[in-house]
Amino acid sequence: MKPGRARTWALPRREWALRATLLAAWMACAAPAFGGTVVVLRSRALAPYDSAIAGFEAAYRNPVTRFTLADTGGAALRDRIASLRPDAIVAMGLRGALFAREHFPRTPLVYCIVQDPARHDLGGVWVTGVSSDVPPAVELTSLRAAAPDVRRLAVFYSQTAGAAFAREARKAAADLGIQLVEVAIADLSELAGRAREAARRADALWMPADPMIAAPEPFRFLLDLSLETRKPLFTFSDALVRAGALAAVVPDYQAAGAQAAESVRRIQAGERAGDIPASTVRRTRLVVNGSTARALGRDLPVAARRGAEVLP
């Protein structure tokens, strides 16, 4: 073999190797921009999560891999998600978010429909999301539209976790000309007596999504009190409106899913999850129980009826 010819072959081979390496590196960096794997992890099978997933898929428009935490064992689910090497995990619900944060601490996490994420330490450079908290001002404005005659509103919250909520609620109520009858409790055993006393002074009852108050027994008690005193009960969930409460301002879950999709796109475009500010759900809807309204002898104003979902 002539030395010159050998040289001719040796150079392109090195060059090809270099080119291949560069191409692989470029592809690895650019892959997210082409839409890599996204895992949607649902805490459990619940209608709000399914609505949010539908909203997410409609906005994201690329295929996603879905898992439900309640259906699969922790270790098996962890291994299956790990084998996919996802670009991002979209967690629908608190349990899914906590699972993802624990097992995939260095995978971008976008939580969706989580109440009070800061309380669960859902933050950091790998985490962003959409909380399901509805600001008290938004809630009070809608409730005011549904019951314009309410002047004094009894609101129940826990002393420890509800301080920030109470501050916001106080300000929003003052802006709307509503007087809040605040019942801040340290322990559930205080609720019954204080709620009965507050109900005498208020025109309506408000049960926010407080970690202590938002449980089945306080709800049943407040619902009974509402029916007994014929004063409307406002809550935080459409399911509780179906169970007998008069009205609730609830997040638009589809919109929340669409907001999560925006965050995922930004992550795939190269932004760090922690740099994308966590947001609250932008759209809400008023849900009213028509039967309860009739039982309480209340008529929903036409203006409020237009934008509300009235359950029969």
Partner 1 sequence: MNWAFARGIRGRIALLLVGGLLLAACGFYGLLDFLARDWSRRELREQGEAVVERMAREAVTPLVLGDRRGLQMIVSHGARDRDAVGAAILGANGAELATRVTESDHWTQVPVARLDRRPGETRLTRERSAGVEVFTLVVPVIRTAPASTPTGDAFDFNESGPGPGAARTPELLGWVRLTYSTARLEGELSRARTIGLLILSLVVALGLAASLAMLRVVVRPLREASGLAREIAGGNLDRRIPVRAGDELGALAASMNTMA
**Contact residues for partner 1 (CB under 8 A)?**
43-44, 46-49, 93-95, 113-116, 119-120, 188-189, 191-193, 196, 209-212, 214-221, 224, 235-240, 242-243
Which are the contacts of 157, defined by CB distance < 8 A and separation ≥ 6?
165, 166, 182, 183, 184, 185, 208, 210, 212, 213
Q: Which is nearer to partner 1, 116 or 252 (CB)?
A: 116
Give Cα separations from 287 to 37, 49, 171, 189 (angstroms).
36, 18, 24, 30
The torsion defined by the Cα of 98, 101, 103 and 106, in degrees rounded to 10, comes to 170
H-helix or E-strand spanning residue 254: helix 253-268
Bridge partners, 152 (sequence order): 179
Q: How far is the CB of 92 from partner 1 (least distance, A)?
A: 10
Distance separating alpha carbons of residues 106 and 121, to the nearest angstrom: 15
Distance separating alpha carbons of residues 50 and 241, to the nearest angstrom: 19
Q: Which is nearer to partner 1, 119 or 171 (CB)?
A: 119
Q: How far is the CB of 99 from partner 1 (least distance, A)?
A: 12
Q: How far is the CB of 276 from partner 1 (least distance, A)?
A: 23
Of 277, 250, 286, 235, nearest in space to 117 by CA: 277
Q: Which is nearer to partner 1, 237 or 268 (CB)?
A: 237
Q: Which is nearer to partner 1, 235 or 254 (CB)?
A: 235
Give Cα separations from 291 to 222, 230, 244 (angstroms).
17, 13, 8
Q: How far is the CB of 28 from partner 1 (least distance, A)?
A: 37
Q: How far is the CB of 85 from partner 1 (least distance, A)?
A: 28
Q: How far is the CB of 277 from partner 1 (least distance, A)?
A: 21
Distance separating alpha carbons of residues 55 and 98, to the nearest angstrom: 22
Region of 183 please: left (phi>0), alpha (psi -120 to 50) or beta: beta
Distance separating alpha carbons of residues 69 and 75, to the nearest angstrom: 11
**Would you say 91 and 110 are in contact if contact means Cβ atoms under 8 Å apart?**
yes
Q: How far is the CB of 62 from partner 1 (least distance, A)?
A: 27
Length of the chain: 312
Q: How far is the CB of 116 from partner 1 (least distance, A)?
A: 6
Q: Which is nearer to partner 1, 109 or 214 (CB)?
A: 214
Q: How far is the CB of 212 from partner 1 (least distance, A)?
A: 7
Q: Which is nearer to partner 1, 169 or 209 (CB)?
A: 209
Q: Which is nearer to partner 1, 202 or 240 (CB)?
A: 240
Q: Which is nearer to partner 1, 94 or 202 (CB)?
A: 94
- Strand, coil or helix: 275: helix
Q: Which is nearer to partner 1, 213 or 267 (CB)?
A: 213
- Under DSSP, the state recorded for 281 is -
Distance separating alpha carbons of residues 40 and 12, to the nearest angstrom: 45
